[in-house]
Amino acid sequence: MLALARGRFTARFAESAEDIEAAQALRHQCFVTGRGLPARPGMALERDGFDASCRHLLVEHVPSGVLVCCFRLLMLEGGGRIGDSYSAQYYELSALAAYPGRMAELGRFCIHPDWRDPDILRIAWAALARVVDEEGIELLFGCSSFNGTDGDSYRDAFALLARNHMAPDRWQPRVKAPDVFRFGRLLRQLIPDPGRAMRAMPPLLRSYLAMGGWVSDHAVVDRDLATLHVFTGLEIGAIPPARARLLRATATA
């Protein structure tokens, strides 16, 4: 069973219904109240039907016991099960049905809004690296979210994605959602300001890109969660060797 400690933080899988509710409460704080969205009466948890099929990873601050980060993982034996994923609600993923290896969908990644320690993201990735190795995962994927629903406010970020980080044609997700921002078509010729582009990227997406990750050519406008999200894939075998060694060293130290 996963148990990883780094400095003041530990990472572990949820072991009880109470653990999962703690993750759902943090998600509610980040994705609902933190974005100014109305909460349902009497409901302080953010949850959906996918939670029961996922493994939930928790990062906790040891001295206080505070849950500072969480995410969930849906394990799939291969591309033939891609339609079972959360992402398949929003993206036409038939191209990935031919993917031959084991997959994991990473979702609902969030960090407590009152915590800014970079070690939180480091231990989260270290824990994820250990799971990927132990489970033989070959493709990690999910939705990376930008706050808000105005694509033009992220022009530099989306232009950088369009120029440098498009999914390979053989895996490219197609449009399924009714409301999308087609940045791959609209912004491919725009020369972005790299600094401004990277500052606008969600931290999780920056990590994916640093390891060779790729994205869909469009963002889905999710008005329920007040976000724009892009399908993001990371082929484990394509991670630069030096970065892969660093991740594995962190995960096993």
Question: What pLDDT was estimated at residue 160?
Answer: 97
Nearest to 53 by CA among 74, 39, 35, 83: 74
Question: What pLDDT was estimated at residue 40?
Answer: 67
Yes or no: say if 11 and 58 are a contact pair by the CB < 8 Å rule.
yes
pLDDT tens sequence across 181-221: 999 999 989 999 999 999 999 988 999 999 999 999 999 99
Exposure string over 176-201, b if 16+ CB within 10 A, otherwise e: beeebbebbebbeeeebeeeebbebb
Yes or no: say if 225 and 35 are a contact pair by the CB < 8 Å rule.
yes
- Phi, psi (rounded to 5 degrees) for 113: -65, -20
Question: Which SS3 state, helix, strand or coil, does residue 193 take?
Answer: coil
- Gap between the Cα atoms of 246 and 251, Å rounded: 9
Return the DSSP state at 200: H
Question: What pLDDT was estimated at residue 1?
Answer: 57
- Gap between the Cα atoms of 130 and 122, Å rounded: 12
Question: What pLDDT was estimated at residue 253?
Answer: 60
Q: What angle do CA 228, 233, 234 make, to 5 degrees?
A: 135
- Gap between the Cα atoms of 106 and 240, Å rounded: 20
Token pair listed for 158: 């989306």
For 32-60, give the DSSP string.
Answer: TGGGTPPPPTT------TTGGGSEEEEEE
- Domains located in the chain, CATH noted: 3-252 (3.40.630.30)
Question: What pLDDT was estimated at residue 3?
Answer: 77
Question: What pLDDT was estimated at residue 2?
Answer: 72
In this structure, the number of other CB atoms found within 10 A of the CB of residue 136 comes to 9
Token pair listed for 12: 């572990």
- Gap between the Cα atoms of 105 and 122, Å rounded: 19
Residue ranges, the chain, pLDDT below 70: 1, 40-42, 251-253
Nearest to 98 by CA among 79, 73, 114: 79
